[in-house]
Amino acid sequence: MNKQLIAERFSKAIHTYSQEACVQRQIADKMAHLLTEHLHVPCPKVIEFGCGTGFYSRLLLKTLQPDELLLNDLCPEMEQCCSDLLKEKRISFLPGDAETVSFPDQRSLITSCSTLQWFESPRHFFERCHSLLQLQGYFAFSTFGEENMKEIRQLTGSGLSYPSREELLSALSTHFQVLYAEEEHIPLSFDTPLQVLYHLKQTGVTGVTSSACRPLRTRRDLQCFCERYTREFSQGTSVTLTYHPIYLIAQKKQME
């Protein structure tokens, strides 16, 4: 996973992400609602990794009202997107790779939306979160499953390697008790395959899955891609792009 490339592509999409990332916004709304249902004690000290432009950050503040909220993102430029939030003393921003950056410990909640799929080793990150959480602290996140953007993968033969719900549950089981797990499929409709590619570019995804775009180097490649996309993934007069979010809420186990 090329973290520098990931940061560069998402930085370039800062000004278009909020408008195009409708699914990510929907996922953030749902995740915030799930927290209110499944977190049974207050969470005064919260870390959000992969905060991006702050969709989920604002919902966390509204729903949980933490005493401290540390926002983290791989892209330092995301601090500008959260500048309105950072006017409050209880909110801070820490740029860097969440897999290696130095987080404070004794947190009551570590959470994120639509980020974990970019990690080198989710299993090691789960272990890290266990060490950073206070006793019975919560770890809650959404990521994407195996059928995420299945249309792109099927046509290009490339893309991110997404875990299954069962694989995530297995990886969590050593250090956490899973309180809630859900997955769903969210199809988006576009008038043309070119609009699908534009949507991915405007959300920063196209560049970080550049291996999936290598078959589209020439105009002829692009034409063939669009023809196949229309033939195989049409619904009426539109074409579809499928998102496959997975939602997980877990609580730290007391290790013997």
Per-residue pLDDT of the chain (256 residues; tens, 9 = 90+): 678 877 777 777 777 777 778 999 999 999 999 999 999 899 999 999 999 999 999 999 999 999 999 999 999 999 999 999 999 999 999 999 999 999 999 999 999 999 999 999 999 999 999 999 999 999 999 999 999 999 999 998 877 889 999 999 999 999 999 999 999 999 999 999 999 999 988 887 764 444 445 567 788 888 999 999 999 999 999 999 999 999 999 999 976 5
Report the number of distinct structural domains present in the chain: 1
Is residue 53 in a domain?
A: yes
DSSP state of 105: S
Q: Please report, for the domain that includes residue 121, its CATH number.
A: 3.40.50.150
Contact 211, 32 (CB under 8 A): no
Is residue 124 in a domain?
A: yes
Domain that holds residue 72: 3-145+161-186+242-252
